[in-house]
Amino acid sequence: MKLSDDTNNKTLCVILHYGSEADTNGCIESLICENKIDIAVSDNDPRQSYLPPVDLRARVKLFRTGGSARFSEGNNIAARAFLSSHHDSVFILNNDTIVTPGAIDLLRSTLFLDGVGAVGPCMPYASDQEKVWACGGYIDKLRLNIGGMQPKSKLPYEVDYLPAAAILCRTEVWKTVGGLSESYFIAYEEAEFALDVRRYGYKVIADPRAVVLHKVGMSSEQKPEYYYNGLRNRLIFSKYLYGPHFGFLYGVLVTSGLAVSTIWRQNFQDFYRNMRILVKAIIDEGTGAPLDRQHVLNSAIMKFSRP
């Protein structure tokens, strides 16, 4: 299937707003001159008060999630609200990104090549554009690990998955897969999504010619709530790969081994906290505890403060 010449065919771009309004506005501004884009902002900030600048409002549709949706849910509900028959594709885009001129056209041209279901750009750091954060990603099913790749070609190439910071997907594929998996709080949903896209016979492609800059936050990985979320993600992903029973047991084994090999080197206070978080993550996933923002914060911080 080749890209249609129908001028009504557009991409619905869903930007999940959380945190910095300046970042969200900058992301919108980088898209405002694109004539193949309809822009929808899904406001998932707890304040539920985001408004685009006056000069941008005519181009932006706004959906308020209530402020407590998971990453996937916040994107999915806005896509469901605004997708129409005029949209041949859906573009999931982080609010801390800047889309460079020509990137959308390149992504669309690659997406509608035969057999392609989803495509993502090359994503350099916005703070240092000589360094690439990711250009596609790999999935290590044995270690239940995912990660970004460096560009391996100047032309489009197949990858295991695409980081959720920027994914362009055909509308029919998006609907067939059912959008991003809502099993996760944040992260790993893009890996499951890519595997589902491939399961339906489509290719997942990274196009290094299309560039989207990413304002990557590096400090968050050390926060207890991110550690807890990362542990549960591996368990959830293992259940997706290997089934609810064996997958959970395998996930516990792999996740515990990786965690212990890392945290034993830490000081006593951090070791104590992280071991408790590990145990809590396993118990929570085994018992089906909720995985929402408040539970992640409570499990990672409040319940593990030393007396």
- Span 132-180, pLDDT tens digits: 999 999 999 999 999 999 999 999 999 999 999 999 999 999 999 999 9
pLDDT in 10s for each residue of the chain, 307 residues: 344 445 569 999 999 999 999 999 999 999 999 989 999 999 999 999 999 999 999 999 999 999 989 999 999 999 999 999 999 999 999 999 999 999 999 999 999 999 999 999 999 999 999 999 999 999 999 999 999 999 999 999 999 999 999 999 999 999 999 999 999 999 999 999 999 999 999 999 999 999 999 998 644 446 888 889 999 999 999 999 999 999 999 999 999 998 877 766 667 677 778 888 999 999 999 999 988 777 777 766 544 444 3
Residue 251 backbone dihedrals phi, psi, to 5 degrees = -65, -40
Q: Give the dihedral sign, CA 132/134/140/145.
A: positive
| Rounded alpha-carbon distances, angstroms, from residue 216 to 32, 43, 124, 158 | 22, 20, 9, 24
pTM: 0.91
- Span 26-49, pLDDT tens digits: 999 999 999 899 999 999 999 999
- What percent of the chain has pLDDT above 90? 79
